[in-house]
Chain A
């Protein structure tokens, strides 16, 4: 049933079967609870139910708060006791053009209309300001769908009195606000409703009868979009697209047809479709998604396909290239290992339904969009699935695929050295390890939410919480960036500790797995000791809280010279490092803050 929740889904099936689907999903044990407040400008009951299904599918168990009907404004600004007590971790504001309080009338003077736009936007700015101050949690906010009717006909789109033009202005202002506010994320219902078709999106019967601002059958699409944003906020977006070759990236079989026989380019409709798909894939690569090939082919033949003069993708666009005759699930496991990423951050694209089924069966955590075998539909399915949704285009994202290609070279290099220490020395590693500064808040929060393996407490932070902690003198925070001779690994490690008396209690210690076994954890600890001693502290207290995925660091404190204080039945443990006497640096390979 879970696959019924993947795009393209059957909205009517989900609406009809939602209770049975929920029953099945909620029985899973590895769910992560999140408190989600839905503040509605219209009825939200069905939206809540559908959102729950899509979140459960992604391993998130939502606990909901629903505002009173059309009380999204009042509950934030005036009577919010219940909401405050609920302590939301994410707030979704479901408003739409039924919540616009004032449209310009045709009698309005043109110069007054900007003021009407500002009035509408200001109402929302007050809500966003208050949420930032009071709850410091991420906000998911609908923009506006185009109007149901156009009083001025086509002129409605460009006359300053037109409602169509008015809504476009509001959406422009919302976009600008979302660019400025790092906790505000737009749910683009303007696009969703257009894609769905405004004629089907609007159901005035549902409005008059039940006060739903949209048709019931559009609700699964809306909820899917909100769930996609939630996943991106929690840093669960996918990192790598694994692609088949024949009839996926080009038409035909390279082994049979040869490079001159495959269909790519502008010569035939089919070739054009494959060209556009390659362009789409190239776009993903440029924004930081890794590409990998997993194809049943002779490697030499497979590579030759990219020498086609019309090929958009080139061999160097791929971080890993696996063309052989082994079963695909084995290749896929290797791809995840080589890239040093979890198998659940892979997406598998293949025109062959048997291969898709094999992967779903063998590696159920790999996302396998039901892309069919019609090349004209590939982009739709992958794009609308929202698997690669992101809340911000960070500099690190744009560079990420280079990191991973560098990693593959590094690994290759490793085999040429006598011992591992020699290899580490040869990397010429340079780190910057300093207290967290505002420019890194988003990246650090992203790391706290998606790092599961090297993470002793699995404590999650929002950017706003981090900001508060970084500015508080009772805390010591550190971020670590690591460069080596192959390139910049970016911001890869974070520590947060709270000072009480003469002790520093470690609330967070995490590191990205792409720099495992590089000695970066030792460099981080050394710097933490410097900071702590600088404030006259005598010891550092560390905690290990076991999770399903952090067994990697169960022995970290011991390795780093901490003494065990207590071990509990649930395998959690408390550790202490005495820093009142001389401390010997543990880092041997990385030059820090030079």
Chain B
């Protein structure tokens, strides 16, 4: 999967889950930057990511996620 494809699909997940159609993500974006990104939405994001990219995240991996960039790298590493 190309980097652009991952970026685009991850953005769409964020827009759908947070119901923000015009949302633009940056690598540094964290939950503190987006009002709708609360703990419940965070779980929904992870569930949607697992489904979209057909991957399963471990407890450890979930705990390491600090920002959008971490998510992006993790997906790139796991989704072959």
Interface residues, chain A, with chain B CB atoms under 8 Å away: 12, 15-20, 23, 45-46, 49, 205-206, 208-210, 216-217
**How many of chain B's residues touch chain A, expressed as a range?**
10 to 19
Of B13, B19, B62, the residue contacting A205 (CB under 8 A) is B62
Query: Contacts A12-B51, A209-B59 known; A19 to B17 CB distance under 8 Å?
Result: yes
Q: Which residues of B contact A18 (CB under 8 A)?
A: 44
Residue of A nearest to B21 (CB): A20
Query: Contacts A46-B40, A208-B59 known; A12 to B47 CB distance under 8 Å?
Result: yes
Per-residue CB contact flags for chain B residues 1-31 toward chain A (1 = under 8 Å, else 0) read: 0000000000001001111000000000000
Q: Which residues of A contact B47 (CB under 8 A)?
A: 12, 15-16, 216-217
Minimum Cβ distance to chain B for residue A53 (Å): 13
**Does B43 interact with chain A (Cβ within 8 Å)?**
yes
Of B36, B44, B57, B62, the residue contacting A16 (CB under 8 A) is B44
The reply to whether A216 and B19 form a contact with Cβ atoms under 8 Å apart is no
Q: Which residues of B contact A23 (CB under 8 A)?
A: 19
**Does B74 interact with chain A (Cβ within 8 Å)?**
no
Q: Which residues of B contact A15 (CB under 8 A)?
A: 44, 47-48
Minimum Cβ distance to chain B for residue A51 (Å): 14
The reply to whether A16 and B59 form a contact with Cβ atoms under 8 Å apart is no
Cα–Cα distance between A361 and B13 once the two chains are bound (Å) = 31
Residue of B nearest to A23 (CB): B19
Residue of B nearest to A49 (CB): B40
Minimum Cβ distance to chain A for residue B64 (Å): 13
Query: Contacts A208-B59, A209-B59 known; A16 to B48 CB distance under 8 Å?
Result: yes
The reply to whether A205 and B18 form a contact with Cβ atoms under 8 Å apart is no
Residue of B nearest to A212 (CB): B43
Minimum Cβ distance to chain A for residue B60 (Å): 10
Q: How many A-B residue pairs have CB under 8 A?
A: 41
Q: Which residues of A contact B16 (CB under 8 A)?
A: 16-17, 20
Q: Which residues of B contact A45 (CB under 8 A)?
A: 40
Q: Which residues of B contact A17 (CB under 8 A)?
A: 16
The reply to whether B18 and A19 form a contact with Cβ atoms under 8 Å apart is yes
Considering the complex of A and B, which 3 residue pairs feature the smallest CB-CB distances, nearest first?
A19-B19, A16-B48, A12-B51
Minimum Cβ distance to chain A for residue B65 (Å): 12
Q: Which residues of B contact A19 (CB under 8 A)?
A: 17-19, 36
Q: Which residues of A contact B62 (CB under 8 A)?
A: 205, 209
Minimum Cβ distance to chain B for residue A178 (Å): 31
Q: Which residues of A contact B36 (CB under 8 A)?
A: 19
Cα–Cα distance between A49 and B51 once the two chains are bound (Å) = 19
The reply to whether A46 and B43 form a contact with Cβ atoms under 8 Å apart is yes
Residue of B nearest to A215 (CB): B47
A-B contact list, 8 entries, CB within 8 Å: A12-B48, A16-B51, A46-B40, A205-B57, A208-B59, A209-B62, A210-B43, A216-B47
Minimum Cβ distance to chain A for residue B59 (Å): 6
Cα–Cα distance between A206 and B50 once the two chains are bound (Å) = 13
Cα–Cα distance between A120 and B24 once the two chains are bound (Å) = 51
Q: Which of B32-62 contact A (CB under 8 A)?
A: 36, 40, 43-44, 47-48, 51, 57-59, 62
Residue of A nearest to B16 (CB): A16
Residue of B nearest to A205 (CB): B59
Q: Which residues of B contact A205 (CB under 8 A)?
A: 57-59, 62
Minimum Cβ distance to chain A for residue B32 (Å): 20
Cα–Cα distance between A15 and B17 once the two chains are bound (Å) = 8
Cα–Cα distance between A19 and B72 once the two chains are bound (Å) = 24
Q: Which residues of B contact A20 (CB under 8 A)?
A: 16, 19
Minimum Cβ distance to chain A for residue B15 (Å): 10
Cα–Cα distance between A216 and B46 once the two chains are bound (Å) = 10
